Amino acid sequence: MFQAIGLTKSYRRGRAPAVLDLSFDARAGQVTALLGPVGSGRTTALLLALGLERGQGAALFDGRPYRRIRRPERRSVPSSPSSTATPGTRAAGPAHTCGWSPPP
């Protein structure tokens, strides 16, 4: 299970935060999606969850922060394709490999 707890990221004082107090649970066997228009903070939320962006809050993968997972490259973490991904190809993430295949 994945838990996001109060994820918040502000880039500049006086401007609206990119992500403000995002909390949700993504349970095994369920499909969870981050939806929103361009600039709504979807990518920033994922970067916060992986510890690639500094911010506030916590993200837990089976109760542990991503950086505390032993051998995360051996865990399967599905992701959505980026806008530049080619269907049927694989994209390498920071510490894991994610694959996407077009629907049949």
The answer on 58 and 83 residing in a single domain is no
The answer on 89 and 58 residing in a single domain is no
DSSP at 81: P
Q: How confident is the model at residue 74 (pLDDT cuts 50, 70, 90)?
A: low
Q: What share of the chain is helix, strand, coil (3-state, %, to 5)?
A: 15, 30, 60
The answer on 46 and 3 residing in a single domain is yes
Cβ contact 95:72 at 8 Å: yes
Query: What does pTM read for this prediction?
Result: 0.65
The answer on 44 and 58 residing in a single domain is yes
Give dist(CA 44, CA 4) in Å, integer: 13
For 86, the domain range is 71-104
Give dist(CA 103, CA 100) in Å, integer: 9
Residues 6+ apart with CB under 8 A from 15: none
The answer on 52 and 35 residing in a single domain is yes
The answer on 80 and 55 residing in a single domain is no
* Segment among 28-32, 41-45, 59-63, 73-77 with least mean pLDDT: 73-77
Cβ contact 54:5 at 8 Å: no
The answer on 80 and 95 residing in a single domain is yes
How many domains does the chain contain in total? 2
